[in-house]
Each structure stands twice: as structure tokens, then as C-alpha cells.
Structure 1
């Protein structure tokens, strides 16, 4: 990863902070409230959610009878499809003590694949508001998404983007192809709020505050090991640069402890599943059940799934030799690796690139590529900062139109249900 002169960067950050403080003081004294940065961010978020609501309602009106809803369901029923029903099962019934099987041998799909963080928060909201699950789940996602947009703006400013670039990064964040997840009964919205907060704390080197955030993340979405790897790279980087960028003993101890803690937190849920069911492979066996319809029941072999998927998609779906799919995957991985060293991405700073690299490596190691992959790419949102750098109005308008069009495509392919649908979001 690229190095930078710490004194120069510290001076740049200090000047940026001073300018922001001055702007905030001026705003509080002479500017109307609707010009405040956070008001603009929330206005962008609300406008984006209004557009997505129209898209979802349009597809809901054309939805036929399915296993979960009647024809033309209302918004909240439509927003509670797919994993939303699994989270509702977790909230209402908990987790099975005995793993279900499809043939008496292989573990079938079950609630252990869904962590308790999101349903726990929704349960609390239901208790306070007396709302039913569909409405409470959407409310939690909606509010968490709003918070994530605000913190994302802070993160972009913190890594050096201008006010205009940071706001446009928020625009892209709010209209991204998978941004409908900010208003459906999925855990992603809550997880992204926790993740963007964790990344901001990491960039600011506030290690002590990261411990509770990392723990909450580990019980919301499975990526604790990825964050542990990102923190480990951060620690090594600081150690190598300790002469030009001081790395005090207190920060060394806290950051190393955070790395270990993140790794343990990432393994906590699989361990809990193992203890509760009596099978130490309960969690991984459950996750593997979702790829069985594609390639059958297999063992979890790190880094094998993407190559198996490339072969399957090429041969079974496209009717071309499987090796072509594998070659295409290798080219994709190489191109993405080069992208991390491109000037626009380097502008985001080393810590955000550590996260992008760590999470990408984690996906490559454990996930099987299928329609849910679009959703699983959501934590790579810091890269939107690189897309926000150009100032051309034509470029920016084109990106917004493109992202909204891709939203429509994602809902059409992944969210709506068309008979026996094998493309879950």
C-alpha cells in the first residue's frame, strides 16, 4: 500500500479540521439550518429512499402469488421477503437445537446462518413502539441507513475529500444498486452503520472505542475475521512507519489487542452455534447448504468456491468451457488488485484500502459467487469515494442515472419473485 509523509498528512488533516470548524461556527451564526452539512446529507438520503420506494412499489404491484405473500402485496410485506423472513423466525422462535437435514445426512438451510444482532434490535423496537415485525424491521433499516450516510460523509471528509466530493460520495452511497437494502428487513443497513463507524474510528486511531463496535458487528454480519485482518495490516503499517509517524506504546498495545479481539469476535458466532447444537461445524455446514443447489454438498475449502463458481457459471449457465470462467476470474482478481493502487483509490488513504483488500480476500476465501454476491459487495462502499472525485456535472448526473437504473435491475433480478426463483438477493 502507498506510504505518505505523516507530517504533511497531519498538517492537511489539521487544516481541514480547522476549516470545518470555522465553517461550522459560521453556519451556526449566519447560515440557515437547511444549509448545514448533515441536513444536506439527510436530504439526499430521503430523496434517494423516495426514489427506491417508487421502484419497490412498482415491482410490488406486479408481484404474483408466492410462498410468502399474496399478489400485489403492500410495501412492508414486499420489503420483508427472503432473509427478512429468516430474521423474523430468529426473532420469534430463536435457533434450532438440532440441525435440520435434507436427507438425514447433509445439513439444510436453517436459522443459524442469520446472526442475532438485527433481529434483537428489531425486537426492542417492536417492544417500544408496538409495531409489527415488517414495519419495525423496515424502520430499523431505514434509520440505520440514515445514520450510515451521515457517518460516511464524516469519513470521506476525514480522508481528505472536499465538501462537494464528500456529498457526492454520499449521493452515490444512497442511490447505489443495492441501496434498497436500506429500507427492507435485512441486517445490511445496521451492519453498514457499524462498519462505517468502525472505519472512521480506525482512521482516527481511536482504538479503545472500536472494541464495542467490533463486537456488535460480529453479531450482525459475518465479517469479523476480515476486520481483524484489516486492523492487523494497519498495525504492521504503523510499526513500519513508526520513525516518521510515532506509534506510542499505549497505541501499540491497544491496536494489537483490538486485532486479537476482532479475530475472536469473528469466531464467536460459529463457536456459539457449535456449542448449542453439539456440532462444531454447525455454522459452516449451514452456510454450505445455500450453495448445494449449485454444486452439490461440498466441504469448505478456502479460496475454492470462487473457482468452482466460475467453472459452474461458465459451463452450466453459459454453455462454454469451464476453464474460460476460471481465466475470467483470474483476470478479474488481477484487475481489482491493480485498481487498489490506482490514483483515485489511493486518495482514500491506506486504512480504507486495507479494509477493501481484507474484505475482498475474505469474500474470495469463503463465499460462493451467486446472486447474493451483489449484496455481499456492499461493504466495499469506501470505493465510492474514488468515484466521487470527478467534478464534472455531466459525469455526476450520469452516475446517478446509471446507479438508479442498476437499482431497477437488481430489484428485478434479485428481489421480486418469479415463480420458483433461484436468484435470492
Structure 2
């Protein structure tokens, strides 16, 4: 199936410049063409951003595409890849834990460190190469995942929308996002095809690539309930029940294991939690972790920064949650994606609401909702699809310009 020829069962869009002409190619080639074109555009954006970076930008007047690609979290992954994790947590003058490498999972920097051997020890080059290659792999698996529910035409357009999306610069930055998407799409594809055995190693590697495996645990729980309720129309053998439960338990165990590991190494059981909270202290000061509280406080903070009443923030947050839930539950194009991708989207949104504090990096944190691009690509009219692609590219330039070219404040963190 991985090399199944793209069929023309969906009517091509027509025109010498349309994606429809790629439908005659094998999936690996068609996706490669789309992905390469998107990466070339992103490279041009990054080159322009480097030229526009001035003395007031965090990257300075001498910024290059290399420094832009290795900024912010890429630096932390570099620390993990070169020096590992601290045995003693850094603290400030008040004794509060400060930002440190324990917030970043080990799989991406470890693979980058191994790959850097092929580049004479050049970690930054290896990091970008790994991100680009993983991004291509993610897009190819994404195509096959969507082909389980949608036509080849729609699946390829969804790949184009993802590859050229507002956050697509992450496909060629030293971040773990593209590698995580590769594992995620593989896991969803296996779940759709009910190849449960292969999910065991994927859950482990996904959990140690970046936070989010607890959302996959939520997905498995919801998936099990849906399968149970539909067991008369869709038989649920005992062996599948065992796999679903075992995989859910494994995902929960992996999701909490990093806290145990960080605590064992540093001697502080709260090491990971305190490290994560250190990133929000600059926004709201001291405070412990309370489920859902981050989004409530974050909404109020942003509305204060915008000069709007806090009471409006709570109403807006509630309305946004209801709107997202309604789209996932009832929007026809989203429903066409099937229960697995819809349940993942709902689970991941719930996960973010529980654990995350919304700051400017919220855009990056939304990237795992990429399966919804399958719904965005579903309307067949060329104007819609090309318009969505253009909007994505405009959004990508805005993100690169704001976060990398001119970013110099705490509200412009990638």
C-alpha cells in the first residue's frame, strides 16, 4: 500500500499548474514534489526574514537562515543532544526552579546527535536535515492516512495545505514537531487499520519525542468506548479489547514516566512539573499546576494586554471551546475523516485545555491537529483549495516575520 499508485478516482482539478496532474504519479513522488515546493517557499521566506532581522530583533542584524532555524527551543534540544540533562535543577535567587533541559524529550536530540556523525559533528545541520526528512515522512504517511477515508485528490491537497501551513517553517527548524507528526500519523494510520501490535513501540517513541502522548491515551479510551457502543455493527473481538486497554495503560505510563525519570535523576520528585511551570512564571508569577487553570488565566492575561475586560475573556474562551467541539462533532467534512481522527482532535484539544498555558507558542502547539487539514481540503472547488493554500502561505510569512524576523518581546515566542 505504501507505494500504491495514486488513482484518478477523484476528478482532477485540471490545468497545467494544478495538483491534479500529480495524481498519475506514485504517492512517494507526488508528495515529494508538493513537499519540496513548499520547502523552497519556506526557505525563501526564511532568507528574507534573515535580511529583515535588525539590531532590535532577538537574532540581531547579522541573522542567517541557520541562526533562524536553530533559535529558541532548537537551542534547548541542542543542549540535550550535546550535554544531556542536569543532575541538579537550576534555581534563581528566590529558590524557584528556572528554565532547563528537562522540559524537552530525548528522542529528537538523540537521533540528531547520531545523524550529526555524518555531518562531521555539525549538530545544527543534522537537526535541520532530520526535521526536513521527518517532515517528508510525516506528509507521506499523512497522505496514506487520509486515503483510508478520502479520495487521492483530497488527500494530496491536504498534504499541500499542511506542507505550506502557517507553522510549516517548523519542518526545517531544529524542533521535534515534524518527527512527532511522523509518529502521530503512523499511530493514527495503524489505529484506523487496527494494526494494534505496532502501536506499542510507537507509543513509547512518541511519548519521548515531545509531550502529547497523554492525549493519545485519551484517544484510546474514547476509541474503546465508541467501539464498544458500536460492537453490534462493528464486532469487537476480545483480543482487540485487550490491545486497546493495554495500549491505553502504556500511553498513560509513558506520559507520566518522564516526571519519574526527572525526579530520580535530580532527586526532586517535582522536577519536571517545576521545570514546566518555570516557563509561565514570567507571565503570571508564582503558582502551582491546576488542571484547566492555565487557559483560564491565559485568556484573562491576553485580554488585559489587549485592553479588553477580563469578563469578556471567559465568555470568549467558553464560546471558542463550544465552537471547536461543535466543528469536531458535527461539521460534515470533519465527520468524513472517521472516528479515529475526530477523537484524536477532541482528545488533543482537551489535553491542551487541561495542561497548557496559552502564550504565543499556542500556534505551534496546535500543529498536531493537522489531520483536520483533510476536512479543509474536502471542498472540491479550485478557488477554495487554492485560496486555502494562499492563506496558509500568508500565515506562514506572518509567523516567520513576527516570531523570527522582528521578534523581540515575550509575546513573540515561537
CA root-mean-square deviation: 2.0
Counterpart-to-counterpart distance in 2, 1:390 and 1:266: 37
Given the superposition, is the C-alpha separation of residues 22 and 287 from structure 1 closer, same or farther in structure 2, using an over 3 Å criterion?
closer
CA displacement, residues 388-408 of structure 1 (integer Å, 9 cap, x when unaligned): 011111111111111000001
1:292 aligns with 2:281: yes
Any idea what SS the aligned residue of 1:340 has?
A: helix
Q: How does 1:32-71 map to 2 (within 5 A)?
A: 35-65=25-55, 71=61
- How far apart are 1:104 and its partner, in Å? 3.3
CA displacement, residues 27-70 of structure 1 (integer Å, 9 cap, x when unaligned): xxxx9997222211110000000000000110011223589755
1:220 aligned residue: 209
Any idea what SS the aligned residue of 1:96 has?
A: coil
1:121 aligned residue: 111
Where do 5+ consecutive residues of structure 2 fail to align?
A: 9-20
Structure 1 contact 33–39 (Cα < 8 Å) conserved: no
Q: 1:334 aligned to 312, 322, 331, which one?
A: 322
Given the superposition, is the C-alpha separation of residues 402 and 68 from structure 1 closer, same or farther in structure 2, using an over 3 Å criterion?
closer
1:81 aligned residue: 71
CA displacement, residues 372-403 of structure 1 (integer Å, 9 cap, x when unaligned): 00000000001111100111111111111110
Structure 1 contact 109–286 (Cα < 8 Å) conserved: yes
CA displacement, residues 233-256 of structure 1 (integer Å, 9 cap, x when unaligned): 111111222222111111111111
1:321 aligns with 2:309: yes
1:394 aligns with 2:364: no
The size of the alignment, in residue pairs, is 399
Where do 5+ consecutive residues of structure 1 fail to align?
A: 1-16, 25-30
Structure 2 contact 23–153 (Cα < 8 Å) conserved: no
Structure 1 contact 63–417 (Cα < 8 Å) conserved: yes
Counterpart-to-counterpart distance in 1, 2:86 and 2:298: 30
Q: How does 1:194-233 map to 2 (within 5 A)?
A: 194-233=183-222
Counterpart-to-counterpart distance in 1, 2:113 and 2:57: 24
Counterpart-to-counterpart distance in 2, 1:22 and 1:118: 32
Counterpart-to-counterpart distance in 2, 1:37 and 1:144: 16
Counterpart-to-counterpart distance in 2, 1:77 and 1:58: 13
Counterpart-to-counterpart distance in 2, 1:196 and 1:97: 34
Any idea what SS the aligned residue of 2:378 has?
A: coil
Q: 2:350 aligned to 361, 364, 389, which one?
A: 361
CA displacement, residues 171-217 of structure 1 (integer Å, 9 cap, x when unaligned): 10101100100000001011111111111011111111001111001
Counterpart-to-counterpart distance in 2, 1:414 and 1:326: 27
- Structure 1 length normalisation: TM-score? 0.90
CA displacement, residues 256-284 of structure 1 (integer Å, 9 cap, x when unaligned): 11110011011111111111111111111
Counterpart-to-counterpart distance in 2, 1:67 and 1:413: 10
Counterpart-to-counterpart distance in 1, 2:300 and 2:58: 33
Counterpart-to-counterpart distance in 2, 1:390 and 1:89: 44
Structure 1 contact 309–369 (Cα < 8 Å) conserved: yes
- Structure 2 length normalisation: TM-score? 0.92
